[in-house]
Amino acid sequence: MKINIHAGHNPDGKVACGAVGHIYESTEARNVVSKLITLLQKAGHTVYNCTVDNGTSQSDVLDRIVRKCNSNSVDLDISIHFNAGAKDNFGNGSNTGTEVLVYNKATKAYEYAEKVCMEISKLGYKNRGVKVNQGLYFLNNTKAPAMLIECCFVDDVDDVKLYSSDKMAKAIATAICGDTKDDEEMDKTIIKLTVNGTAKTLEGFNVGGTNYVTIRELCDLVGVTVVYDSATKTVVLSK
């Protein structure tokens, strides 16, 4: 799949730099975009970063973003934002949550938007759902199906306590292309075994401190035949 992704505002310190609270929207949107691009590229997708860093006004930032997006022929446009308006400076034990905006329910982006809400809510955020908004310049003017993700609220202490750019990017990537693994989660490792008194080694993976090997490689090592029965979708092991 070909995907456009961008952070929705100018960099911090410039005009139209987005919401400011306990975290900065512009900074965190760029953090999420960078990590999301890496995850999607590792999953085999072509990704274009359409972030704008030199807009002269809010309207100019939006115009530049849309022109960048429309210069690429893609399957999906994604705008990363952070919400504001909660005004929770002390924490009340309840976060305000996440939502995704689309132009209408007929867009192909709607299905992805629902999945994004679901995956981010698994991090502990309230699922505010997918909302139709036909008044946003980005959603109105991009050629490809588009969604605008409001990751969480910058001015809600409870939202910020849950927030991690790594986890947020992973949740969005999972919503778009299924479960993804980054280098920290799945590392190649050499596993030493003893088979009938003989030392052997296998290349495997370490995930969360646990080593894994493929069934076929392990069976080959111990002399067990592995056959996949496509009719019953069953793996058959035999001596």
Confidence of residue 216 (pLDDT cuts 50, 70, 90): confident
Confidence of residue 225 (pLDDT cuts 50, 70, 90): confident
Do 37 and 91 sit in the same domain of this protein? yes
Do 33 and 108 sit in the same domain of this protein? yes
- The reply to whether 80 falls in a domain is yes
- The reply to whether 44 falls in a domain is yes
* pLDDT tops 80 at residue 142: yes
Do 140 and 97 sit in the same domain of this protein? yes
Do 60 and 139 sit in the same domain of this protein? yes
Q: Of 181, 208, 184, 149, nearest to 39 (Cα)? A: 181
pLDDT at 207: 58
Question: What's the mean pLDDT in 228-235?
Answer: 72
The SS3 assignment for 130 reads strand
* Domain span including residue 201: 187-238
Do 18 and 130 sit in the same domain of this protein? yes
Do 47 and 152 sit in the same domain of this protein? yes
CB 84 within 8 A of CB 154: yes
CB 151 within 8 A of CB 127: no
- The reply to whether 73 falls in a domain is yes
Do 147 and 194 sit in the same domain of this protein? no
Do 6 and 114 sit in the same domain of this protein? yes
pLDDT at 209: 63
- The reply to whether 182 falls in a domain is no
**The domain boundary residue, chosen from 135, 159, 177:** 177
User: Judging by DSSP bridges, how do beta strands 187-195 and 210-212 pair with one another?
Assistant: unpaired
- Work out the mean pLDDT of the chain and round it to a whole number: 91
Percent of the chain's residues with pLDDT above 90 = 74
Do 47 and 110 sit in the same domain of this protein? yes
**Which tokens sit at 34?**
């960078």
* pLDDT tops 70 at residue 181: no
- Residue with the bigger pLDDT between 197 and 7: it is 7
pLDDT at 230: 64
**Which tokens sit at 19?**
């919401």
The total domain count for the chain is 2
What is the pTM assigned to this prediction?
A: 0.77
Residue type, 184: E
CA distance 1 to 41: 10
Residues forming beta bridges with residue 139, ordered by sequence position: none
Segment 83-122, tens digit of pLDDT: 999 999 999 999 999 999 999 999 999 999 999 999 999 9
CB 45 within 8 A of CB 78: no
- The reply to whether 201 falls in a domain is yes
Segment 30-87, tens digit of pLDDT: 999 999 999 999 999 999 999 999 999 999 999 999 999 999 999 999 999 999 999 9
Do 192 and 93 sit in the same domain of this protein? no
CB 176 within 8 A of CB 100: no
Do 171 and 231 sit in the same domain of this protein? no
pLDDT at 155: 98
Residue type, 181: K
Do 134 and 160 sit in the same domain of this protein? yes
The SS3 assignment for 4 reads strand
User: Judging by DSSP bridges, how do beta strands 146-153 and 98-102 pair with one another?
Assistant: antiparallel
**Which tokens sit at 145?**
């199906």
